[in-house]
Structure 1
Amino acid sequence: MNRVAALLDRLAYEPRRLGKLALLEAYFRDTPDPDRGWALAAMTGALTFKNAKAGLIRNLAAEKTDPFLFGLSYDFVGDLAETVALMWPADAARANAQLTITDVVEGLKTTAKEKLPEIVANWLDRLDENGRWALLKLITGALRIGVSARLARTALARLGGKAPDEIEDAWHADAPPYLHLFAWLEGRAEAPSVATTVRFYSPMLSHPIEADEFASLDAAAFVAEWKWDGIRVQAAAGKDANGARVARLYSRTGEDISGAFPDLVAGFDFDAVLDGELLIRRGGAVQDFNTLQQRLNRKSVNAKLMAEFPAFIRVYDLLALGEEDLRTLTFDERRAALVAFVRAHPLAPIDLSEMIAFDTWVDLSAARADPKHGGAGVDAEAVEGVMIKRRDAPYLAGRPKGYWFKWKRDPMVIDAVLMYAQRGAGKRSSFYSDYTFGVWTEAGELTPVGKAYFGFTDEELIELDKFVRGHTENRFGPVREVTHTKAKGLVLEVAFEGLQRSTRHKSGVAMRFPRISRIRWDKRPSDADTLEALEKLLAEAPAQVS
């Protein structure tokens, strides 16, 4: 564990992208199989353990340390793995004993649930502080080291002298600990390949665009379609290497989510790979993301749930047709093939994402501002904005520049009062960076309406943390209650993407994707917004009850 612990520790404190790439490349080059493959899986979110959870770690810490002292320490540090790693009683005679990440992975996968506490405690006894921290991070899955799957694959490309797109194509043809993938990168084997056309293709992603950037773009070279409030998926169906019928539904990251949507997969009577948006349609209209969430993250569903939340896919790209890979075609060519495909499969649980008619960017701006009259019709409430795509764009993995843009609708904004703060995790574990904010009720009291932990700069975080520490009125475990009266307190300008009624929140409303857009040092708490103002926003844009 020493080698992977050192890697994770250095990655956590390395701010430069090129620095992280150098660390990853060196580790993959110098570390033997299968250790490097398991580390790669952990860093890209492909490593999970059914029975090893954070609760196991808390229970072990409670047995080895004073519970009150542990609570105080956890409150101060703000990170479970770091707290336990520092507080675990050291055993100088056994520290740094030989233990590999492969030993850990195999142990966690094969050990019975009732035996896990004993084996994890034994590992913790055998490791020093860094080793314990790395072990606990692997178990909880919360690495927070600033390494995305794309960055890890870029490091692999550098290791093998390959193009990043080659790595993307081979990535999903292997599985942890990626023995075949590393053999190919080192010239010892052919590239991993999927033995079936029913496969996942690394998705093409877009860049955000602002209104002032359109002046340099020719509107005639682009098409536009609605950006829907669902999740990105790929629908793949066909025959496997043995000729058996296979159908899969993949998330944007390549996770097989077919089990949560058997009603969808049962209707995949085609031989193709489609890119689109997973949505719920009820009452003849597409619903918002909050409704879709009722079916997400479930390994299985019953007939009642499927009937209450009927799912379908609004498709906007055709990546493969039979054994033909269409990704090198232009968007216009793929679009023509997609239109013909949808017409040929009227009974499949799919429909076509319609294009937005526009001649100028002014026309598109008007449609974006008013989706209902811009062509979205009854589905307007499920529109997040517009997607803009070059007509001649091939389908490229990752986020290539200049091809696809997303122009989201302007967020809603309110002024709210900071009420509570909690420490963050990882690099933010020393700062109070997670904030709960509220608005005034008719009775003149503050009611919490949301939480946010991003949207501010590092410099602003330091200012916010200082304010929290200097204006703490009370403590509730790791949470600090911040001064919030009409005369004293801090106002935050909060931006959010949507608003819906909620029976789970005291205020009766819930925000979607709230973020701190500005610190209003210039505004008195008494001038912050009211719950009535949020009710007015709800009236203007009604949404489903959560």
Structure 2
Amino acid sequence: MRAFAALLDRLSLTASRNAKLRLIRDHLADTPDPDRGWALAALTGALTFTAAKPAMIRRAVEARVDPELFRLSYDYVGDLAETVALIWPARHGANREPDLSEVIDALTQAKRGEVQGLLEGWLDALDADGRWALLKLVTGGLRVGVSARLAWQAAADFGGVEVPDIQEVWHAQSPPYADLLAWLDGRAERPSADAHGRFRPVMLAQPIDEAEMERLDPAAYAAEWKWDGIRVQAVSEGGVKRLYSRTGEDISPTFPDVLAALIHEGVIDGELLVLREGQVGSFGDLQQRLNRKTADARVMAAHPAGIRAYDLLASDGVDLRKLTFAERRARLEVLIVSLASDRIDLSPIQPFDTWDALAALRAAPPEGDPQAAEGLMLKRLDSVYEAGRPKGPWFKWKKDPHLVDAVLMYAQRGHGKRSSFYSDFTFGVWTGDVDGSHALTPVGKAYFGFTDEELKQLDKFVRDNTVERFGPVRSVKASREFGLVLEVAFEGLQRSKRHKSGVAMRFPRISRIRWDKPAKEADELATLEGMLDRAERGS
């Protein structure tokens, strides 16, 4: 447990992505099985302990210290694990420090009534760092600035392989990943990826500009709308049905109505949307379904989710990713017709013969709804399905926006009925330095555009991820690997000497919360500067 606690502590204090990679890579190299495998599972969010609940931790600490003292301490610290780790009056001598594997085995087998006693014994045996790591493990909220993707990258670096190689076999393995680590050690062959319901690494598009477009042949590309939902992968194989986000997170429990529609045998790549009789609901409708552990009948009826299919990655046990887009698309069209489902439809190809014609299409809203799509996707007809973001096969051409994706940096308490919430949010975009590093620079502040329920979610995120306090203002954790992306809408831009970024937004508001988007994919300052340049040219 001590090595795992040291790893979490160093990760939480390290901002550099490369340094985090080194820490995880060294842990995999220096820690024996199965503890290193359990650590990898914890970092990737692959561990859950159904019998352990935060309420048990609260009851345990309130039995040891004055409940009011705990309440005041928790309110000040803002993190349950950190508060308990610091305030816990340990009774040393009665217990030995547990191993990480021992903790996980006990929690996995324990009945709910046994968990509190286990926690109390472990908390007594551990020091403050160990207690903090234990409670982070139990609650599942490590919050050390490590995404599953970063952990996969560290594992790939350790084994001298590529991240897609890890992703390809990941969902066919289970913690503590003995076969996977044996392969990365060079002691065994690569584990089989042939497991029903596994995730396939996704293919992403490059942004395109008009100058680049003129060098391309329109006849070589198909165009379709870039629908305004979240990218998903719907897997139905051998009776196993799963719905994944584009980062490989299993979101199946949230969308049982979508899973029920997966009566095919294969893997569909598409956009998760609210679909009502073939019409696309707003992203706000979809948000009513996101970030829930389950969905009740009332929510599903009010906001029926479905998939608008883009691609077909596998069918009837055959991997189709090496086929061309045109070939995969033809098979997808046949499949969608055979499904005849109101939950799964086809993203239609948009005909065009010149780039000017496509530009005119881009300016027109799809199906009469200007909010249904963010722009257009361009896909080479001869492109195979490649993991990652290869240059050339696929492009995204967003509408000229008054929208940017920014990262939450600071939050301030509101006023009046919002005085108990952090409701005023400062956000920033990335700047690139000559040495290749990136930093956030503030570009605006917004305090409306979200619902009361979303305000509660934002307030919780701020409290859970505070790194510094300045009176009523909190600085939240924001890095390339961890941060909350906000889609910010605004009426215009102007140059400003008062702002470090050199730009100021007119009437910014939070258009939506991008829980699904990695912080590193937020916009850069160059995007805003380009928008300002075009506006000043009158284009």
Give the TM-score, by structure 2 length: 0.71
Give the secondary-structure state (helix, strand or coil) at the position aligned to 2:428. Answer: coil
| Alpha-carbon distance in 2 for matches of 1:295, 1:390 | 33
Query: Which digits, 9 at most, give the CA deviation of each residue in 1:279-310, with x for residues without a partner?
Result: 22226521123323444456666666544433
| Alpha-carbon distance in 1 for matches of 2:272, 2:174 | 26
1:143 aligned partner: 142
Distance 1:456 1:53, change over 3 A: farther
Give the secondary-structure state (helix, strand or coil) at the position aligned to 1:177. Answer: coil
Query: Which digits, 9 at most, give the CA deviation of each residue in 1:114-161, with x for residues without a partner?
Result: 332222122111111221121122122222222222222222223333
Distance 1:451 1:273, change over 3 A: farther
| Alpha-carbon distance in 1 for matches of 2:412, 2:400 | 23
1:312 is aligned, of 284, 303, 306, to 306
**Structure 1 residue 54 displacement after superposition:** 3.4
1:395 equivalenced with 2:394 (yes/no):
no
* 1:139-538 matches, cutoff 5 A: 139-196=138-195, 198-207=197-206, 209=207, 211=209, 214=212, 218=216, 220=218, 222-238=221-237, 240=238, 245-282=239-276, 284-296=278-290, 306-347=300-341, 349-358=343-352, 363-371=357-365, 376-409=366-399, 433-435=410-412, 452=425, 454-455=427-428, 492-494=444-446, 513=486
| Alpha-carbon distance in 1 for matches of 2:452, 2:349 | 37
Distance 1:463 1:359, change over 3 A: closer
Given that residues 317 and 338 in structure 1 are in contact (C-alpha distance below 8 angstroms), is that contact kept between their aligned partners in structure 2? yes
Distance 1:514 1:187, change over 3 A: closer
Matching residue's letter, 1:130 = D
Matching residue's letter, 2:308 = R
**Structure 1 residue 43 displacement after superposition:** 0.5
Matching residue's letter, 1:394 = V
Give the secondary-structure state (helix, strand or coil) at the position aligned to 1:281. Answer: strand
Distance 1:68 1:47, change over 3 A: same
Q: Identical aligned pairs, as a percentage?
A: 47
Give the secondary-structure state (helix, strand or coil) at the position aligned to 2:152. Answer: helix
**Structure 1 residue 188 displacement after superposition:** 3.9
Distance 1:143 1:248, change over 3 A: closer
Query: Which digits, 9 at most, give the CA deviation of each residue in 1:305-363, with x for residues without a partner?
Result: 54443332110011012232111233333223323433444357421112344556565
| Alpha-carbon distance in 1 for matches of 2:283, 2:108 | 34
Given that residues 450 and 514 in structure 1 are in contact (C-alpha distance below 8 angstroms), is that contact kept between their aligned partners in structure 2? no
Query: Which digits, 9 at most, give the CA deviation of each residue in 1:501-526, with x for residues without a partner?
Result: x58699xxxxx935599998969xxx
Query: Which digits, 9 at most, give the CA deviation of each residue in 1:24-62, with x for residues without a partner?
Result: 222112222221111111111111222333333344333
Range with bigger deviation, 322-331 or 301-310: 301-310
Query: Which digits, 9 at most, give the CA deviation of each residue in 1:139-185, with x for residues without a partner?
Result: 22222222222222222223333333221211111111212212232
5+ unaligned residues in a row in structure 1: which ranges?
Answer: 415-423, 440-444, 465-490, 507-511, 538-546
Larger radius of gyration: 1
Range with bigger deviation, 301-310 or 106-115: 301-310
Give the secondary-structure state (helix, strand or coil) at the position aligned to 1:49. Answer: coil
| Alpha-carbon distance in 2 for matches of 1:23, 1:35 | 15
| Alpha-carbon distance in 2 for matches of 1:172, 1:336 | 28
| Alpha-carbon distance in 2 for matches of 1:79, 1:453 | 22
Range with bigger deviation, 325-334 or 303-312: 303-312
Give the secondary-structure state (helix, strand or coil) at the position aligned to 1:351. Answer: strand
Given that residues 199 and 244 in structure 2 are in contact (C-alpha distance below 8 angstroms), is that contact kept between their aligned partners in structure 1? yes
Query: Which digits, 9 at most, give the CA deviation of each residue in 1:56-103, with x for residues without a partner?
Result: 3344333434455545544554433223222223556579x4311112
| Alpha-carbon distance in 1 for matches of 2:135, 2:260 | 40
**Count of aligned positions:** 462
Distance 1:162 1:277, change over 3 A: same
Give the secondary-structure state (helix, strand or coil) at the position aligned to 1:150. Answer: helix
1:53 equivalenced with 2:49 (yes/no):
no
Given that residues 150 and 398 in structure 1 are in contact (C-alpha distance below 8 angstroms), is that contact kept between their aligned partners in structure 2? no
5+ unaligned residues in a row in structure 2: which ranges?
Answer: 432-438, 456-484, 500-504, 512-539
Given that residues 492 and 516 in structure 1 are in contact (C-alpha distance below 8 angstroms), is that contact kept between their aligned partners in structure 2? no
Give the secondary-structure state (helix, strand or coil) at the position aligned to 1:381. Answer: coil
| Alpha-carbon distance in 1 for matches of 2:202, 2:101 | 30
| Alpha-carbon distance in 2 for matches of 1:30, 1:516 | 47
Distance 1:88 1:265, change over 3 A: closer
Give the secondary-structure state (helix, strand or coil) at the position aligned to 1:182. Answer: helix
Matching residue's letter, 2:410 = S
Distance 1:51 1:361, change over 3 A: farther
**Structure 1 residue 276 displacement after superposition:** 0.8
Matching residue's letter, 2:100 = I
| Alpha-carbon distance in 1 for matches of 2:70, 2:199 | 45
Aligned-residue Cα RMSD (Å) equals 4.3
**Structure 1 residue 436 displacement after superposition:** 5.6
Query: Which digits, 9 at most, give the CA deviation of each residue in 1:232-280, with x for residues without a partner?
Result: 2222334x3xxxx554433434455555544444443322211111222
| Alpha-carbon distance in 2 for matches of 1:406, 1:82 | 43
